[in-house]
A = this chain, B = another copy of it.
Amino acid sequence: MGTIHTFFVISIIFSCLSGSVDVHFITKRDASLDDRKDCPPVEGQPQPPTRVDTTARLQALRTEMGTADVDVYIIPSEDAHQSEYPPSYDLRRSYISGLSGSAGIAVVTATKAALWTDGRYHLQADDELDCNWILMKDGVEGVPTMTEWIIEQMMNSTTKNVGASPFLLSSSKWKTYEEAFTQEAITMKSVGANDLIDKIWTSGRPEKPKTPINALPLKFAGRSWQDKINDLRSEMTKKHAGAFIVTSLDETAWLFNIRANDILYNPFVVSYAIVEMNQISLYLIDSSTKLSQTPTDEETTETLYEHLNTNQDGTCTGKTGLCVKVLEYNQSGLLTDIETLAETSQSLKVWVTILCNQAIYETIPETQVIQANSKVALIKSMKNSVERAGMQNSHIRDAVALINFMTKLEKEVKEGKKWTEVSAAADLKTYRFDQEYNRGLSFNSISGVGSNGAIIHYSPSNITDKQITTSEMYLLDSGGQYLDGTTDVTRTFHFGTPTEYEKECYTLVLMGHIDLALTKWPRGLYGRDFDAIARHPLWDVGLVYRHGTGHGIGAYLSVHEGPGRISISHAVNPSDEPLDENMFFSDEPGYYEAGKFGIRLETIVMTEIVDTKYHFDATTMLGFKAITLVPYEPHLINFSMLSQRQIDWLNAYHKRVENEVGPKLSGEPLEWMKTRTQQITTSSPASIILPSILLICITSILSLLK
């Protein structure tokens, strides 16, 4: 699926020099409701059914804003852990704006409401936001940034307070906003623990998450939590840090080898942890119940307290070896503990990550805080050998599920049986559930026919559902959670006869996809440094896709994980890290034509050290190995556009599909695969013409000889 991070924001704020000779300028245009489809609403004409009426919610929020004395209120998508996919309880930005997509930030003033979102959600946002909302399309020329827009709105305001919850914004974002506002005498005003959406979202709100926790057996995790704690403590020693606060949910799940279902599609446990040199504290919701609960996963043999080497009440008294003290999850309790920690030893340094929330950050005295990228995130992303094997195995099982399903779908669509985006996604799910170690999906399948395929992060619903036919392209982006790995694969299909243009676009996307997979680079580079290689073939003909090319992926963790990514971006993310070996990324260029079709090809690839013909000054070269093994669609490829190198890659890939997935297929699915994995022989003019000429020549000579 599309990557986490906002694509580059074009920021040429450079306009109208008076009387300039001939220099070209772009004016930053005024953002307004005029850009919205069917806005303002016309009496008697219904609004699109997908739109959420937010009038009452906005009114309630504005009342609270008055009480809290803020002129502007910022509502980010994230929870207190900066989760990309927060628990349903925490979907505040979706509640206030109506946009159900994962990325976006909402800003409400006394009279206006605006939402910034990236290219994956531009079309979807227009479908879901009602006419109260200005849609700010990140990545489109001339769209102001959030801070620029707020500054503009506050220009003539006598009070200039921009409110936000310190739990929901990362400290780095808080600082960025503060810096942008300070010159304009605008103040970032914390509302403390009293988030204004919490005050108005009182009915119909989902429960706080508290699903059972299962220990992940060592045969899947590859490394015990005790060893991981020791690894982390070595890093803390090097950084002269006496405590490390773990705030991201995939980091607590990974560090302690625990999994739950607190977030849809993400097997996380809502939690915090503080790792000190002589103590480890883990904060869990409903901790006493969870510690002694019988495991709900059949592969888990220990209760949580046994796994964490803790007494049944979560204390460590009398325990030998490492023990995790379990405490009740509670924001203010956590802050008090951090405060006490810092006060007890004023020479103690506390390491927090760039993404830690502002509330935690501001609790630690400035002289004691070390803010730096999370080593947990980095070590986690460099998978150990057990995780690497698990990722490869789970991807093979996942390919089997997808191929079996696609064989049926294609056959029945061609027979004229009715399949829709929704019914296909629902049926595919059951194929994944049948696979060994499956623990559900890794995200809501993106199943898009024709124009719906052009909505980059489209979720089919009964309102938008389209039938799958032989006359339109079909984009299917889906993945599963397995005890031994997380998968995410996109293939694009056409069950009839594609147009030449559709084939050309598919081939251009494939060319970038292969070129990226073939890239070798010197260790130390960021993914953003070579994302262009995937975009290059499309750029050549003027085509562009507005999302990142690759995101990291976890091992039975999140489908999107940092700290590496392959994404050109204007705003360089401070938590980015270079790509190193044994990391897993998606390689997923695409092309989307609004109202017509979407194409995306996504294969998970693993970084590894590669050998090269020459070696420069002991530089280590890295490259990719494909892990997803699902064939491409030969009848959508214009082979004459491919280079020999690209064809060689495709042939080698399809040979691996045959060898590694083939043995687990039989009957029609095996045939379905084989029609796609046939080796392509290059038909250069010489190889076609030469035999014919030789034949004519020999025939002539023979006839003359007769």
A contact residues vs B (CB 8 Å cutoff): 8, 10-12, 14-24, 26, 140-141, 182-183, 185, 222-223, 227, 230-231, 234-235, 238, 349, 366-367, 369-370, 375, 378-379, 382, 384-386, 518-526, 528-533, 536, 539-544, 568, 570, 572, 578, 580-582, 594, 609, 611-621, 643, 684-686, 689-690, 693-694, 697, 700-701, 704-705
Contact = CB atoms under 8 A, between A and B. Distances in A.
Given A385-B21, A525-B568, A690 B701 contact: no
A18 B235 CA distance: 10
Nearest to A580: B12
Contacts of A620: 141
6 contacts: A8-B524, A11-B524, A15-B238, A17-B234, A532-B532, A542-B621
Contact of A582 (B24, B238, B533, B570): B24
B222 A21 contact: yes
B12 A578 contact: yes
A369 B704 CA distance: 95
B614 A22 contact: no
Copy number in the complex reads 2
Contacts of A580: 12, 14, 24
Given A701-B704, A704-B704, A614 B525 contact: no
A231 B568 contact: no
Contacts of A235: 17
B539 A519 contact: yes
B21 A223 contact: yes
Nearest to A14: B378
Contacts of A697: 693, 697, 700-701
A529 B536 CA distance: 11
Given A19-B230, A541-B613, A697-B697, 16 more contacts: A17-B230, A20-B227, A21-B384, A24-B581, A26-B523, A183-B370, A185-B367, A530-B536, A541-B612, A544-B616, A544-B617, A572-B572, A594-B617, A643-B643, A686-B689, A704-B705
- Kindly list the 5 A-B residue pairs having the minimum CB-CB distance in the complex, ordered from nearest: A542-B612, A10-B524, A686-B686, A697-B697, A530-B532
A19 B227 contact: yes
Contacts of A618: 141
B543 A519 contact: no
A534 to B, nearest CB: 10
A582 to B, nearest CB: 7
A120 to B, nearest CB: 14
B523 A539 contact: no
A612 to B, nearest CB: 3
A223 B23 CA distance: 11
A24 B349 contact: no
A174 to B, nearest CB: 16
A369 B183 contact: yes
A376 to B, nearest CB: 11
B690 A231 contact: no
A140 B617 CA distance: 9
A521 B525 contact: no
Contact of A693 (B526, B533, B690): B690
A17 to B, nearest CB: 4
A309 B622 CA distance: 61
